[in-house]
Structure 1
Amino acid sequence: MTDKVLVTGGTGFLGMQMLLQLLNKGYDVRTTVRSLKSKDKVLTTLRNNEVSNLDRLSFIEADLSKDDNWEAAMADRDYVLSVASPVFFEIPKDESEVIRPAIEGIIRILKAATRTKVKRVVMTSNFGAVGFTNQDWQTVTTEKDWTDENAKGLSAYEKSKLLAEKAAWKFIETEGNGLEFATINPVAIFGPSLDSHVSGSFDLLKGIASGSMKMIPNIQLNVVDVRDVVDLHIRAMTTPGAAGQRFIASTDGMISMPEIAALIRKERPQLAEQVSKRTMPNGLLKIASHFNATAKEGQFMAEMNRNVSNAKAREILGWKPIGTKEDAVLTAVESLLKYDLV
């Protein structure tokens, strides 16, 4: 019997890759879209990427901010991959405008999954819920860690992912009624894009590759290929031991922003002339953080412990990264070039 999966938010960068892998593996897939007008775009993108079994894909209109259609979306589904996040076209002045919809959205999904007897929900959380406030570089950040929601410098977006995940675990504990649940917590997601719609993490690469970043901050990053993030979701969906667990999605090691710049100059020579060779002194970033919001966020990131472990995903899910951190960066840059985004 073919397992039936609901993917929320199939039009997104991650959601589209989720549809691709699930269909190629032979799953019966339904995806939610905020408007059925998006259906043709999704199908065209998947066809352009030679996806198999498109006859096994169906669509339903559902919005995270409304109750409409969520139970219908989950009717007859075995699994739910909760990928979609509330969408904001401007940065809200009040962080509660970001946090409240994120919490309400995942609880809406979990309630519908409980009522429709879904077996397991896998939530796309974020590394922002795990290790954003661990500044002790002598330790290793694991899934046991939680970001301090009261930390100064934590963005509204990261805080929303943190509090939404906490709310989800609390719901499972108190009202889950046997619903199995797991989370995937990705670091910066790179890798290839199926179309011109890329993730927010690509903004950093755009800044470096386009030359708009005149000085490169010496900030270490953890990165992951989008295909690995999808693979982890599917493994967490089907592996018995994954229920009740969190999994960090990250390639091995870390890579600094100056290293990314040097990598692009070397491996993508058509961009070399516009990629800055200047590294911002650490002291300058710290001074600027007192006066500039972007620099403040950069300083917050610079202090973060980047000794991050992916051992749990390897051990419980039998997962290993598709490639290196350099591969994840370069395939992302290739997509920026392919779709004229840089």
Structure 2
Amino acid sequence: MNTAKDDPTTVAVLVTGIGGFLAGHIALQLLEQGYRVRGSLRLIGRSDAVHRQLGAHTHKDALERLSFVQADLDGEDGWTAAVEGCSYVIHTASPFPPGFPEDEDALIQTARDGALRVLDAAHRAGVKRVVLTSSIAATNHGDGQAPFTEENWTDPEGPRATPYYKSKTLTERAAWIFAEKVGLDLAVINPSMILGPLLGENFGTSVGLVHHLMTGKFEGIPRFGFSVVDVRDVADAHIRAMTNPAAKSQRFIVGGRFFWLKELVAILAACFPEYGARLPSGEISDEVVKAIAQSDPDARTIVHELNQDLSVSAAKAQRVLNWRSRPEKEAICASAQSLIDLGLVRAPAI
């Protein structure tokens, strides 16, 4: 029986894809709480870089409880060894390409089959619980309406189902079917758009949007929006779901207020006025976005979401996990500040 009384110093947790933005923050919080952390990497050669990156944000004693294993979502090798001796698995690893991938089926296969490999290895190893990172991409694009909840599911065949949304939806569906079939203790976290402080120079699609805005890549602001949540709070939700008995067989949306892109731009302009000239100022019409989408894969991903209220409710996570989030403005500005501090966004010439 899963309990919340584990002594962290005796517990090992596998965090898949530990080199990722969210996984790094999960690993840091686990280490700070005393857990032993084993991180999976597709290429073990990256372990030294990840070790240094995490080491810059925690103390030496914590790093002594960190280890790495090589395992690839596209193959069987390594997963048995990865879960051996672990009490819990937090599976965050999943492909998240910018725009439309060239091969939609390959994206879906890697995400779904990779998750099932991890779940199967966890089941065979007798882990107490697996926490799977899904997304509101798996809740917000079906027949429901805002605010979306855990009762909602994306329709993989619907017009708003981009390849990424399909991959998250089909992967989560497959995970629930597998868990029910074999009796695996599973909990799922469905985050909204994850922003917040970077741990290193690599950043994904979400922080990439802030990077594009801060470097003048946007010529105008489409009527497009999303719910924002801080990466530190998403990491906290995963750990709460890992140890809370009531999280068994539950999915949890973790997300904050819905922002139209022009509202996010206004926050960046207020926090970083010296970058104001680079930020887009005027809105562009839906018709222009649709025309751009004919040749721009990034624009194509939002065409069916223009003027859509995609707000979500995190009430269940707040009630069951006692989860709370910091102000969304803090997450937005922390992303931008990290990009500046790391030299990924340079100050405008005077």
**TM bracket, shorter-chain basis:** over 0.9
- Of 322, 327, 339 in structure 2, the residue corresponding to residue 324 of structure 1 is 327
CA distance in 2: counterparts of 1:188 and 1:90, whole angstroms:
15
- Of 28, 36, 39 in structure 2, the residue corresponding to residue 20 of structure 1 is 28
- Of 166, 169, 179 in structure 2, the residue corresponding to residue 162 of structure 1 is 169
Corresponding residue for residue 133 of structure 2: 124
CA contact (8 A) 2:221 2:284 kept: yes
CA distance in 2: counterparts of 1:43 and 1:294, whole angstroms:
32
Corresponding residue for residue 244 of structure 1: 249
CA distance in 2: counterparts of 1:190 and 1:89, whole angstroms:
16
Corresponding residue for residue 187 of structure 2: 182
Partner-residue secondary structure (3-state), 1:43? helix
Deviations 1:294-340 (A, max 9, x none): 4443232224432310000000000000x211111110111111122
TM-score by length of 2: 0.90
CA contact (8 A) 1:209 1:261 kept: no
Deviations 1:218-260 (A, max 9, x none): 2221011100110000000000000100011112x21111111
User: How far is 1:45 from its partner?
Assistant: 0.9
Out of 300-309 and 289-298, give the one that drifted further. Answer: 289-298
CA distance in 2: counterparts of 1:30 and 1:286, whole angstroms:
45
CA distance 1:54–1:218, shift in 2 (3 Å) = same
CA contact (8 A) 1:261 1:275 kept: yes
User: How far is 1:88 from its partner?
Assistant: 6.3
AA matched with 1:161: K
CA distance in 1: counterparts of 2:291 and 2:103, whole angstroms:
26
TM-score by length of 1: 0.92
Corresponding residue for residue 302 of structure 2: 298
User: How far is 1:187 from its partner?
Assistant: 1.1
Corresponding residue for residue 34 of structure 1: 42
CA distance 1:115–1:131, shift in 2 (3 Å) = same
Counterpart mapping for 1:1-342 below 5 A: 1=7, 2-51=10-59, 52-86=61-95, 92-134=101-143, 136=145, 139-174=146-181, 176=182, 178-251=183-256, 253-285=257-289, 293-321=297-325, 323-342=326-345
CA distance in 2: counterparts of 1:282 and 1:106, whole angstroms:
36
CA contact (8 A) 1:153 1:296 kept: no
CA contact (8 A) 1:133 1:304 kept: no
CA distance 1:308–1:75, shift in 2 (3 Å) = same
AA matched with 1:11: G
User: How far is 1:86 from its partner?
Assistant: 4.1
User: How far is 1:203 from its partner?
Assistant: 2.1
Unaligned runs of 5+ residues in structure 2 are: 1-6, 346-350
CA distance in 2: counterparts of 1:164 and 1:210, whole angstroms:
34
CA distance in 2: counterparts of 1:39 and 1:288, whole angstroms:
40
Deviations 1:63-119 (A, max 9, x none): 111111211111111100001114769964331111111111011011111111011
User: How far is 1:293 from its partner?
Assistant: 4.6
CA contact (8 A) 2:195 2:231 kept: yes
CA distance in 2: counterparts of 1:237 and 1:99, whole angstroms:
26
Partner-residue secondary structure (3-state), 2:64? helix
CA contact (8 A) 2:186 2:248 kept: yes
CA distance in 2: counterparts of 1:334 and 1:193, whole angstroms:
9
AA matched with 2:150: E
CA distance in 2: counterparts of 1:333 and 1:142, whole angstroms:
29
CA distance in 1: counterparts of 2:113 and 2:55, whole angstroms:
34
Partner-residue secondary structure (3-state), 2:303? helix
Out of 215-224 and 284-293, give the one that drifted further. Answer: 284-293
User: How far is 1:135 from its partner?
Assistant: 6.6
Counting aligned pairs with the same residue, the percent is 37
CA contact (8 A) 1:134 1:141 kept: no
AA matched with 1:146: W
Give the CA RMSD over aligned residues. Answer: 2.0
CA distance in 2: counterparts of 1:86 and 1:285, whole angstroms:
26
Deviations 1:146-186 (A, max 9, x none): 00110124221221111011001011111x2x320011111
AA matched with 2:29: Q
AA matched with 2:221: I
